[in-house]
Structure 1
Amino acid sequence: MEFLHTARIRDEYGPDGLTDLLGDPALITDDTQMTLFTAEGLIRASVAGVEPPAMVYQAHLRWLDTQRRPGPPDSADGWLAGHAFLYARRAPGNACMSGLSAGRMGTPASPANPHSKGCGAVMRSAPFGLDPRWTVSRAFDVAAECATQTHGHPSGFLAAGAFAAITHALVVGERDLPDAVEVALGLLRRQPKHDEVTTALERALALDRAVTPERVETLGGGWIAEEALAIALYAALAHPTDVRRALLAATNHSGDSDSTAAIAGNLLGAWRGEEALPPDWVFRLEGRGTILELADDLVFECTQGDQLHGDLGPYTGWTDRYPGS
């Protein structure tokens, strides 16, 4: 669906556009690949007891390796990198590839791709919002800092921070989505050069909920960070109790539809829970077992990590699965 104009989508799939998940298995995109490696980086940072950015960067370098190799190396670094299905190029973003290929880690003081505000950082940033040990401000700050490893424009990294903050407010703060967005807006307004992201979110909140592709496209194409987050938010708000319809609304438009749908799926999963996801779609998902296992591992580490890599650690195999280096 990515790169297809709305008229082409209707030509290929009918007047209602796409109405079902494509493929069996339904192949994951680069968005899901990078989200998985982000989560793995956060687990490994927690195991090591260090700040996340360097660990997340190393995890993203492992993702970069999956874009260059035909399959896992004999001695894969950690559990996730050993999964063959991840070694596939699914139209990765240029800024993600170039930022991670630069030979240095971008930082807020010296970001990679300082003029890039593509959606490649925001679409991978939901895991930063899932740690109950963190405050919402920390989720925002760490996600924004890690986003500068590939996307150095303020709108690129602030949108990532806002997405993490919304996710945290939904999961940890147990707020409804409109309230969670207000939490993120409060954090955004404290940041320099927040206007583009703030305006995009405010437009999504105000837009008429009668969804059409044309109305979605008034928010943009989703190629840039603030537009992708706004479109995903709008789709979730328009269909707050019907995840299937919300995901289709986030998909059936001209633009970066795989990213807008991925972000919408993260928002809805955080808001409504796993049981709200369409089971027939989840069943067909490529790598479903690995995705579920990694999600469980992130929960284990965030809530019971001391039992996995404390005194009992040598007997659990946890530190082999998630080396703290």
Structure 2
Amino acid sequence: MNGKFRGCLLGGAIGDSIGWKVEFLTYKEILRQGLKKISKLERNAEITDDTQLTLFTAEGLILACSSGTSALLDISYVVQKVYEAYRRWLYTQGYRVEIREEGWLCAVKQLHVQRAPGATCISALMSGRMGTIEEPINNSKGSGGIMRIAPVGLLFPKDLAFELGCKIAAITHGHPSGYYPAGTLAYIISALLEENDLSKVISEILSILQKHKGTEETIEAIEKAIKYSKRSGDDFSNITELGQGWTAEEALSIAVYCALKYQHNFKKAVLTAVIHDGDSDTTGAITGNILGVYHGVKCIPWSWRRVELTSIILRTSDYLEKLRKIFVADKPKLWYK
């Protein structure tokens, strides 16, 4: 796959790390720091809950795979395994919760640290109840659902990735504009494993969204991103009109804008995605996910491949690639019994 799996997860972690440096700064404060300082990553640069939860999403999916292809065909089972993984993440954040002792990430000491975890994710997971689309756990459309969804797109074929992305985001975010953007991102990532036209993939998912109720905000956010990526004007002004990224549809909109406008320049796209007044680590992470899978790991500057947990991120990427080959490329009919 030409490093697409590694590019996606490592690219997301890098966007997360770059954005984390400026997440709680205003645009003017970011400019005062200077672009050179912001764009430099030290060795073992910190990642946030965005990357932590992305890894736990992957862990849940991989554990679902360990039960065989028949288990993977049970969507509710897959979602349950991811939910259990999120509860283990909650444990690493210092909360006293009962967890199923499986997986491997709880043993990674570097994950036992809080990096401004989202309040909605914490409260939803602390409730002890798994949210679903049919029975929403809240009415949140925060960006915590979309930021962690990339592994779903890497493992599953695009139509199933969309469905699962929505369901997995709904574990913690019950508003349609909280889970449909997550399904959209999962679809984009899955489609880009096979398709080399980003604009075409985004047009495809717009057509799919139009068939579902409650997708109006998500559709509008994507359409604005496409429109603004083609117009003149400085990026900050354009992004300001798209939002700040604290909600899922705004985060998706900013990432789509940056990915489309600078689709052949990973570094420029990610830096543009984080330089604004809002949720910089999430918009940076999503942009990194999209362009990382689009071009593969080769598009990421060597000087940026220095984030903490890089070895775990790369091993997870490689494992997901092997699983996709087994469950999709080699036995595609198993997905559609």
TM-score in terms of structure 1 length = 0.86
The separation in 2 between residues aligned to 1:170 and 1:210, in whole angstroms, is 28
The separation in 2 between residues aligned to 1:69 and 1:21, in whole angstroms, is 33
Note if contact 2:92-2:112 (Cα within 8 Å) is conserved in structure 1. yes
The one-letter amino acid of 2:54's match is T
The one-letter amino acid of 2:86's match is H
Aligned to 1:311: none
1:204 corresponds to 2:225: yes
The separation in 1 between residues aligned to 2:234 and 2:201, in whole angstroms, is 21
Note if contact 2:63-2:103 (Cα within 8 Å) is conserved in structure 1. no
Note if contact 1:10-1:17 (Cα within 8 Å) is conserved in structure 2. no
1:21 corresponds to 2:40: yes
The separation in 2 between residues aligned to 1:263 and 1:304, in whole angstroms, is 26
| Counterparts in 2 of 1:185 and 1:18: CA distance versus 1, 3 Å | farther
SS in structure 1 at match of 2:316 = helix
1:68 corresponds to 2:94: yes
Aligned to 1:177: 198
Task: Give, in angstroms, the shift of residue 126 of structure 1.
Answer: 1.2
For CA contacts below 8 A with separation 6 or more, give which structure has more relative contact order: 2
1:8 corresponds to 2:29: yes
Q: 2:310 aligns with which of 279, 283, 288?
A: 288
Note if contact 2:221-2:242 (Cα within 8 Å) is conserved in structure 1. yes
Query: Number of aligned pairs?
Result: 296
Aligned to 1:42: 61
The separation in 2 between residues aligned to 1:202 and 1:18, in whole angstroms, is 33
- C-alpha deviations, 1:174-201, integer Å up to 9, x for none? 2321111111111111111110000000
Q: 2:288 aligns with which of 265, 274, 279?
A: 265
TM-score in terms of structure 2 length = 0.83
Task: Give, in angstroms, the shift of residue 281 of structure 1.
Answer: 0.7
The separation in 1 between residues aligned to 2:243 and 2:284, in whole angstroms, is 14
SS in structure 2 at match of 1:35 = helix
The separation in 1 between residues aligned to 2:26 and 2:265, in whole angstroms, is 25
The separation in 1 between residues aligned to 2:257 and 2:321, in whole angstroms, is 28
Q: 1:80 aligns with which of 99, 105, 112?
A: 105
| Counterparts in 2 of 1:178 and 1:209: CA distance versus 1, 3 Å | farther
| Aligned residue runs from structure 1 range 214-229, under 5 A | 214-229=237-252
Task: Give, in angstroms, the shift of residue 63 of structure 1.
Answer: 0.9
Task: Give, in angstroms, the shift of residue 29 of structure 1.
Answer: 1.1
- C-alpha deviations, 1:40-90, integer Å up to 9, x for none? 1111111113231001101111111111169xx9x9632222111111111
The separation in 2 between residues aligned to 1:181 and 1:280, in whole angstroms, is 30
The separation in 1 between residues aligned to 2:293 and 2:232, in whole angstroms, is 21
Aligned to 2:83: 57
The separation in 1 between residues aligned to 2:102 and 2:252, in whole angstroms, is 32
The separation in 2 between residues aligned to 1:62 and 1:294, in whole angstroms, is 17
The separation in 1 between residues aligned to 2:61 and 2:298, in whole angstroms, is 24
Single out whichever of 76-85 and 291-300 deviates more from structure 2.
Answer: 76-85
| Aligned residue runs from structure 1 range 230-249, under 5 A | 230-249=253-272
Task: Give, in angstroms, the shift of residue 135 of structure 1.
Answer: 3.3
Q: 1:125 aligns with which of 126, 143, 149?
A: 149
Aligned to 1:299: 321
Task: Give, in angstroms, the shift of residue 274 of structure 1.
Answer: 1.0
The separation in 2 between residues aligned to 1:81 and 1:296, in whole angstroms, is 20
Unpaired segments ≥5 residues, structure 2 = 1-21, 329-337
The one-letter amino acid of 2:151's match is P
Unpaired segments ≥5 residues, structure 1 = 307-325
The separation in 2 between residues aligned to 1:191 and 1:43, in whole angstroms, is 29
The separation in 2 between residues aligned to 1:215 and 1:77, in whole angstroms, is 45
SS in structure 2 at match of 1:175 = coil
The separation in 2 between residues aligned to 1:303 and 1:236, in whole angstroms, is 27
Note if contact 1:119-1:225 (Cα within 8 Å) is conserved in structure 2. yes
**Structure 1 vs Structure 2 CA RMSD:** 2.0
Task: Give, in angstroms, the shift of residue 278 of structure 1.
Answer: 1.4
Where in structure 1 do 4 or more consecutive aligned residues deviate above 4 Å? 16-19
Q: 2:276 aligns with which of 253, 261, 264?
A: 253
Task: Give, in angstroms, the shift of residue 212 of structure 1.
Answer: 2.2
